């Protein structure tokens, strides 16, 4: 969750709705990160990045979610990353 900006402007859009803030996003992902839970592996392909300001970047890519050797999900994603506390963090996440 540290990859997301900690604030109410942070949003995550999926086909199931819009979540705001790290706490709400964390709640969606919590079952996947339970101590005994199975860990998925996230990777990106076809990454395109464009600066939209001195402290902001828009990224478009295809995400791939793997569980072991099995592809669980794949789809387009659009991210807006901003400089936050000296690190690049996600402010807007839209994944389909």
Q: How far is Cα 53 from Cα 3, in angstroms, rounded to an integer?
A: 19
DSSP 3-state helix, strand, coil percentages of the chain (rounded to 5)?
15, 60, 25
Mean pLDDT by runs of 10 across the 96 residues of the chain is 92 91 86 67 94 96 91 94 95 93
For the chain, the C-alpha Rg in angstroms (whole number) is 14
Identify the structural domains of the chain with CATH numbers, from first to last: 11-95 (3.10.450.50)
- Look at residue 37 in the predicted model and tell me its pLDDT: 64
Q: DSSP string of 63-77? A: EEEEETTEEEEEEEE
- Look at residue 10 in the predicted model and tell me its pLDDT: 96
Residues 6+ apart with CB under 8 A from 16: none
């Amino acid at each position: 969750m540290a990859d997301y900006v900690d604030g109410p402007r942070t949003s995550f859009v999926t086909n199931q709705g819009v979540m705001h803030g790290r706490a709400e996003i964390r709640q969606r992902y919590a079952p996947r990160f339970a101590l005994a839970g199975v860990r998925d592996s996230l990777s990106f392909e076809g990454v395109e990045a464009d600066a939209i300001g001195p402290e902001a970047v828009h990224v478009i890519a295809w995400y791939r979610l793997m569980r072991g050797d099995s592809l669980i999900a794949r789809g387009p994603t659009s991210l807006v990353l901003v400089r936050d506390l000296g690190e690049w963090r996600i402010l807007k996440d839209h994944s389909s």
